């Protein structure tokens, strides 16, 4: 059931982004239908990668999204966005090149295969050289981690989300991480069977995931740009994905995690786009110098941050409960640190944004009133769907505690 929920969440999230880009585009956006076709190409390549077990085709589809993404990033038409698009293309292509090298090594180490499905490859690797297989898995996982935007290949993340229209940022942040994690997970599960040593891909990706979480939390102190604050929220949640990969949670929890990733990042970037367009500025210090601000736009952003971390009916809150449950059952009490770090991140972000409440309230800026009203409708639809998913996850994944008499 959770797998179907994930597919539904992905389709609905894309439709929200697509309709926002058509009916409420970024101010000054031109050639909307051309960019809409690229958005469809971006989504279709990643969406199809969710269903294929062919490891080479999955890589090709994820690499295709890199090209589509680079073009979409440059849709703003500014010199800065053009440079960022190239940066996105080069770093992601470098990372995926390493992943492809790892896949080639795995295919070389395997016996001849009838097809390139992962299960067939797994059977072909039985009895083959352990070191060669471990090297292939390590290269593949590390290469894909660059596409995720994990430290040390995270340099494209901040600029991409800061210089792209909010719809593009939402599209990339929502769909790239879940697609890459789906490609990584079976490789990590395979390595658990053949490599019990401390140095392995699972421990390695957890390590760089923790570095990513700490980096995004610490760097948040120096950020005043609401676009870059949103980018750090996305980066933090991407880092948290590695924890669940390392824990090797059940399929039900895993697909619920993917649904959560898609929906939370959708909310954060839609609300950020509303606040950014209404304020007319990006830096909080500059917004505070204006005479007024729509508190409606501000509260949407605060609500999205709340859902992304501590809102009781948020899917993120349910996942924190699962982490705590795993910590208690398996006596891995260090796992309590992850929900705590999430709460710390939230309060830092809240401390950054909350001073905007001091500005006098007004209605949406008249020049973009229709656009923001349309976006507001899509935000509320996304919020209600996210809360419904969180409520369902709470009653389903935590049923033994809720319904226990």
Task: Give the pLDDT confidence of 153-181 residue by residue, as tens digits.
Answer: 888 888 888 888 888 989 999 999 999 99
In the numeric block, the tokens 């395997």 are attached to: 110
Q: What is the pLDDT of residues 280-294, one digit of tens each?
A: 888 898 999 888 899
Average pLDDT of the residues of the chain = 89
Q: Taking 70 as the threshold, does the pLDDT of residue 28 lie above it?
A: no
Q: What is the pLDDT of residues 201-259, one digit of tens each?
A: 889 999 999 999 999 999 998 888 899 999 999 999 999 999 999 999 999 999 999 99
Q: In this predicted structure, what is the pLDDT of residue 385?
A: 96
- Listed as own residue / partner, the contacts of 359-363 with beta carbons closer than 8 Å and 24 or more positions apart are 359/287, 359/288, 359/290, 359/291, 359/292, 359/293, 360/291, 360/292, 360/293, 361/292, 361/293, 361/294, 361/295, 362/292, 362/293, 362/294, 363/294, 363/296
Of the listed ranges 76-85, 142-151, 169-178, 362-371, the one predicted with least confidence = 76-85
Average pLDDT estimate for 378-401? 90
Nearest-5° Cα angle at 80, 77 to 85: 80
Q: Taking 60 as the threshold, does the pLDDT of residue 405 lie above it?
A: no
370 CB neighbour count, 10 Å cutoff = 12
């Amino acid at each position: 059931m959770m797998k179907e929920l994930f597919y539904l969440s992905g389709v609905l999230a894309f439709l929200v982004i697509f309709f926002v880009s058509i009916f409420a585009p970024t101010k000054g956006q031109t050639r909307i239908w051309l960019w809409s076709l690229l958005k469809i190409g971006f989504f279709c390549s990643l969406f199809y990668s969710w269903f294929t077990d062919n490891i080479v085709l999955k890589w090709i589809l994820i690499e295709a999204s890199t090209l589509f993404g680079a073009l979409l990033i440059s849709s703003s038409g500014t010199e800065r966005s053009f440079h960022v698009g190239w940066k996105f293309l080069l770093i992601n292509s470098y990372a995926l090149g390493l992943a492809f090298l790892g896949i080639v090594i795995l295919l070389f180490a395997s016996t001849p295969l009838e097809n390139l499905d992962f299960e067939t490859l797994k059977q072909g690797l039985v009895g083959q050289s352990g070191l060669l297989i471990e090297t292939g898995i390590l290269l593949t996982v590390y290469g894909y981690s660059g596409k995720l935007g994990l430290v040390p290949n995270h340099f494209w993340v901040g600029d991409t989300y800061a210089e792209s229209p909010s719809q593009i940022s939402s599209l990339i942040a929502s769909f790239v991480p879940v697609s890459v994690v789906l490609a990584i997970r079976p490789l990590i599960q395979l390595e658990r069977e053949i490599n019990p040593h401390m140095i392995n891909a699972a421990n390695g990706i957890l390590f760089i995931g923790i570095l990513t979480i700490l980096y995004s939390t610490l760097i948040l102190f120096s950020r005043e740009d609401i676009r870059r604050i949103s980018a750090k929220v996305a980066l933090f949640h991407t880092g948290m994905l590695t924890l669940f990969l390392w824990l090797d949670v059940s399929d039900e929890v895993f697909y619920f995690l993917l649904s959560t990733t898609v929906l939370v990042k959708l909310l954060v970037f839609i609300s950020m786009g509303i606040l950014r367009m209404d304020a007319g500025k990006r830096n909080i210090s500059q917004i505070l110098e204006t005479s007024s601000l729509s508190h409606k736009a501000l509260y949407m952003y605060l609500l999205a941050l709340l859902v992304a971390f501590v809102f009781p009916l948020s899917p993120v809150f349910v996942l924190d409960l699962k982490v705590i449950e795993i910590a208690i059952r398996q006596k891995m009490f260090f796992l309590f640190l992850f929900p705590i770090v999430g709460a710390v991140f939230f309060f830092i972000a809240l401390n950054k944004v909350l001073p905007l409440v001091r500005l006098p309230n007004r209605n949406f800026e008249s020049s973009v009133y229709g656009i923001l009203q349309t976006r507001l409708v899509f935000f509320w639809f996304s919020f209600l769907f996210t809360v419904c998913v969180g409520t369902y996850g709470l009653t389903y994944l935590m049923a033994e505690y809720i319904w226990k008499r």
